[in-house]
Amino acid sequence: MFRDLIKTRVNYRSPLNFRYLCFLFVVICAKSVGLSQVEKARDSSYFISYTDKVVVGLNVDTQTDTYIFRDDSFIDRMEITPNNLYRLSVSVDYKFIGVSLGFAPSFFKEKDAQRLKGESSFSDYKFHFFFGQFVQGLQYQSTKGYYFVNTGDYIDDWQDGKDPYVQFPDLKKTIYGMSSGYVFNKNFSYRSLIGYTERQIKSAGSVVPILYYDYTRFSNVFYGEKSVEKQLNFRLAVGYYYTFVLSGKWFATAGLSPSIAVRFSHFIDSEADGHETQEKETYLLQALDGVLQIGFNGRRFFGGGKLILNADKYDEDSQSHIENNQIYSLAYFGLRFDAPRFISKPVEDVENKVQKNLESLKKEKPKSK
């Protein structure tokens, strides 16, 4: 049971008609691709670039790493989550590169909650790179320490707020991820959404296909038994995003991104007596991501809020139907300032070398046989 628990996520029936949304967005994406082919050069009247500035941002979100297992043969559910109410991330962007560090600060945690729910740790390191219309991402994320949310469903006379939850302090999740995306419409500023190194000044939208690929590792020690699950995930998302430029420097952005994924899972269970069992499975997942954002983007200051949807599902077997539906909020704000020499010099050197290599590739002609 616990093997299945640590490899699943939030499980309840989604109100979304996934197939209908996929069909709708294929039509929208196809139309956008056709329109994007008409305009070959980027029109500078659609955006203002701040790539010569250092952009520092701060994000606060309420996303939690909650896992629930539900089976047709069981009435009760099993839910675990880390003891993190809020997560912070600090980001720095300059030119074509961006870096962010995420963590769960201890000053947001109540002492009484730590006694009842245990200690949890969270760290998240992200990098993104812009090369023209291409965007590349890198990520390392680690979460450790979970507690059994619905402990009262399984322990008689358990009292909420008084008795401690069942805790899994050794349960750890680690992600090594990458992503590769392409923005079809050159006049749509994807940079203004994830790096804030640009400002959209005319309304525009674009198809943004992104390939995600990651290696995820779960590990735990439970009653002397060690368990490890290794996952290799490949997910292709084809999203459409549109930014509405409102009055002044205010804007609103909406986007949906349906995707399909393949997961290769390798589970290893080592018992206390030394006996080891292994299982390998392959799963097909369907997912849908969405964002609704409103914000202010000025020359020096920017800020706003986002409402984010993440939903995915797959059938583990004939009785286990796994779904993940999360809706959470995010607030952000930041500043732009002139880049100091010790930052601008090395970044500009790398940028110039990359540009020269791209130009040389364009000039090369195929050799005649």
Tell me: pLDDT of 12 over 50: no
pLDDT tens track for 307-342: 998 887 777 766 666 766 678 899 999 999 998 887
3-class DSSP assignment, residue 224: coil
pLDDT tens track for 106-144: 777 777 778 899 989 999 999 999 988 999 999 999 999
* Average pLDDT over every residue of 251-259: 96
Neighbours of 227 (CB within 10 A): 20
Tell me: pLDDT of 173 over 80: yes
Please tell me the distance from the alpha carbon of residue 76 to that of residue 79, in angstroms, as a whole number. 10
Fold of 2-363: Lipocalin (2.40.128)
Q: Taking the complete model, does pTM exceed 0.75, yes or no?
A: yes
Q: Nearest-CA neighbor of 184 among 57, 31, 24?
A: 31
Q: Kindly state the tokens that stand for 35.
A: 């329109």
Sign of CA dihedral 310, 98, 188, 198: positive
pLDDT attached to residue 350: 77
Quickly tell me which residue has 């956008």 as its tokens. Answer: 32
Domain ranges of the chain: 2-363
Please tell me the distance from the alpha carbon of residue 290 to that of residue 307, in angstroms, as a whole number. 8
Over the chain, what is the mean pLDDT?
Answer: 83
- Segment holding 350, helix H or strand E: helix 341-363
